[in-house]
């Protein structure tokens, strides 16, 4: 009797493995969802849609970008952590995946254990902007003006967990000031408010800000990278203007819910790598100042190491800045 049960269990196990393999072998057989944790039209969304268009061609199924908003990207992250690991839900997020554990005392997910790792993608510089009629005309004037008028100044961002909030918080700490934070569902609406003069300052990624800077629609004070950037070599870094060591470079990772079958993860990793070599993607990323991550860093293991390293890096910095939510 027992041997029959063992045979039945073994047969079930083989059948299940075969069905998972079969499922993966034909994957994808329907559209794939790529969740973006910020509003459409913003930096994260632009990276997702650029990659998604290329992966749609490679995979033969539409990669549908779905914007899940709120709480600096943590609502979307929690939703993906609970999503069905059937190989049809993926997630793109940036440095915020690493800062959330230090910013939130209670998080409904663990970035390191609740997800499968697919690949890194691009790294994007940030730029410090102000509304067009903001009085300071260069960074030294900006620093002096903000120190003298902090109580009257507000800074737009995409919520606690967004890199625009992280950049703003580091700026406050560097200048020794506290300004009013004005959160939006992403930096696309934040940029609209800046262009409309409703907010004073915004720190955002070149994937969105380059056209506004080059079009003279905003005041621009510098880039947050350690060195000047190829797409705008005339732009000074904040570090060279006195903010020694001020560095925020926005890296992006693609994830899936824990339990997504490995053969599907491998196929998705291959599709991301192909997209990052797609001439249209290469040109678009270069135009936006986004640096494509080297091939050696496009493995799931490299993303896992990057995330762990970044969590360890940002934790003490954020705790020292004293900015976290319950």
Residues that bind ligand ASP (CB under 6 A): 38-39, 42-45, 94, 96, 157-158, 162-164, 186-187, 205
Least CB distance to ligand ASP at residue 85 (A): 25
108 phi, psi to nearest 5 deg: -80, 30
Least CB distance to ligand ASP at residue 249 (A): 13
Least CB distance to ligand ASP at residue 22 (A): 37
Judging by beta carbons within 10 Å of its beta carbon (0-12, 13-18, 19+), is residue 202 exposed, middle or buried? buried
CA-closest candidate to residue 39, choices 180, 204, 200: 204
By beta-carbon proximity to ligand ASP, the closer residue of 208 and 260 is 208
What is the distance between the alpha carbons of residues 75 and 60, in angstroms, rounded to a whole number?
30
Least CB distance to ligand ASP at residue 114 (A): 20
By beta-carbon proximity to ligand ASP, the closer residue of 48 and 264 is 48
Helix (H/G/I), strand (E/B), else coil: 200: coil
By beta-carbon proximity to ligand ASP, the closer residue of 71 and 146 is 71
Least CB distance to ligand ASP at residue 185 (A): 8
By beta-carbon proximity to ligand ASP, the closer residue of 164 and 225 is 164
By beta-carbon proximity to ligand ASP, the closer residue of 42 and 257 is 42
Cα dist from 222 to 61, 129, 130, 202, 274, whole Å: 41, 8, 11, 12, 33
Whether 269 contacts 300, CB under 8 Å: yes
> What does the angle CA 255 – CA 252 – CA 231 come to, to the nearest 5 degrees?
155
């Amino acid at each position: 009797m027992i041997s029959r049960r063992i045979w039945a269990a073994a047969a079930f196990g083989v059948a299940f493995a075969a069905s998972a393999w079969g499922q993966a072998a034909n994957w994808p057989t329907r559209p794939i969802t790529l969740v973006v944790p910020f509003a459409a039209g913003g930096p994260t969304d632009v990276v997702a849609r650029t990659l998604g268009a290329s992966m749609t061609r490679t995979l033969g199924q539409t990669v549908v970008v779905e914007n899940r908003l709120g709480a600096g990207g943590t609502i979307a992250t929690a939703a993906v952590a609970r999503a069905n690991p059937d190989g049809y839900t993926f997630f793109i997020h940036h440095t915020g995946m690493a800062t959330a554990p230090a910013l939130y005392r209670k998080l409904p997910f663990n970035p390191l254990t609740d997800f499968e790792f697919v690949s890194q993608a691009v790294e994007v510089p940030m730029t410090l902007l102000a509304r067009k009629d903001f009085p300071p005309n260069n960074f030294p004037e900006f620093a002096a003006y903000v120190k003298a008028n902090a109580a009257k100044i507000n800074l737009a961002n995409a919520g606690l967990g967004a890199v625009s909030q992280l950049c703003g918080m580091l700026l406050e700490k560097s200048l020794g000031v506290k300004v009013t934070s004005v959160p939006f569902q992403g930096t696309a609406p934040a940029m609209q408010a800046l262009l409309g003069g409703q907010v004073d300052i915004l720190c955002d990624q070149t994937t969105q800000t380059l056209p506004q800077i080059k079009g003279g629609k905003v005041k621009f004070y510098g880039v947050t990278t350690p060195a000047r950037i190829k797409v705008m070599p005339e732009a000074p870094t904040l570090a060279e203007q006195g903010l020694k060591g001020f560095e925020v470079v926005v890296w992006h990772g693609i994830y899936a819910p824990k339990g997504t079958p490995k053969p599907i993860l491998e196929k998705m990793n291959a599709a991301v790598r192909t997209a990052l070599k797609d001439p249209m993607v290469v040109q678009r990323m270069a135009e936006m100042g986004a640096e494509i991550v080297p091939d050696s860093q496009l493995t799931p293991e490299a993303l896992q190491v990057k995330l762990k390293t970044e969590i360890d890096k940002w934790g003490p910095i954020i705790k020292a800045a004293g900015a976290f939510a319950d």
